[in-house]
Amino acid sequence: MRLSAPIYQLKRRAKLLARDEKIALHAALDRIARDEGFAGWSLLAAQVSAPSDEKDILSRLTDGDIVLLGARPGHGKTLLGLKILLDAIRDGRRSVFFTLEYTEHETRERIRSLEGDTPGLGDLVEIVTDDEICADYIIRHLAGAARSTVAVIDYLQILDQRRDKPELSEQLVALQAFARKAGIILAFVSQIDRSFDPQNKPLPDLQNIRLPNRVDTSLFSKACFLHEGKAQFLALA
């Protein structure tokens, strides 16, 4: 299906709609998608060809990597994480999606929109939605997992929103040590600060990660940043 405008223009239209009608951005994006003939934004986004730097990210990752997937809302960071998990399934690996943002039903719908000519493949992705998700929970859940297992955490900033959990910096140190020892790849979906201005640079980077509490970004070994249909993959270590 041909879109009425490039996807970045549709995103801008959604932002204006969200502002004018005082609704959440994700609701505005879904409304724009329905106007384009799709059931929701995730289905629309799945029809758009991925930028070259976003394709086949899994092949660029090595066991023990800690990966950051960063973008502003509505620019495809969660979908990218799900694509990586589907690619891992195709490669015969275990794939786990830890989310404090979506229900299992919402996640399954998003995964189905990405399956393409392999319907049902996404059923093999494990989806964990427990409110107790944190570093200790993730480590316990993945204890004994085979090397090259891939897990995506959605999202980075929400890991320490509860006061009874360790600070985010402590959790990341623990997760990095676990990933390296176990040979597991951990990818973190990350918010980008509102101060990011695409007029100054086309894509966000590590300096634009929204971090309410200080975190050592050198813990990340790889990163992929998205904005308005563009993507850039970075090897950080």
Q: What is the pLDDT of residue 87?
A: 94
pLDDT category, 213, cuts 50, 70, 90? confident
Specify the pTM: 0.80
Name the CATH superfamily, with its identifier, for domain 52-235: P-loop containing nucleotide triphosphate hydrolases (3.40.50.300)
Q: What is the pLDDT of residue 40?
A: 82
Query: Looking at the predicted structure, is the pLDDT value of residue 5 above 90?
Result: no
Ramachandran bin of 7, using left for φ above 0, alpha for ψ from -120 to 50, beta for the remaining angles = alpha
What tens digit of pLDDT does each residue of 101-145 get? 999 999 999 999 888 888 899 999 999 999 999 999 999 999 999
Mean pLDDT of the chain: 90
Query: Looking at the predicted structure, is the pLDDT value of residue 235 above 70?
Result: yes
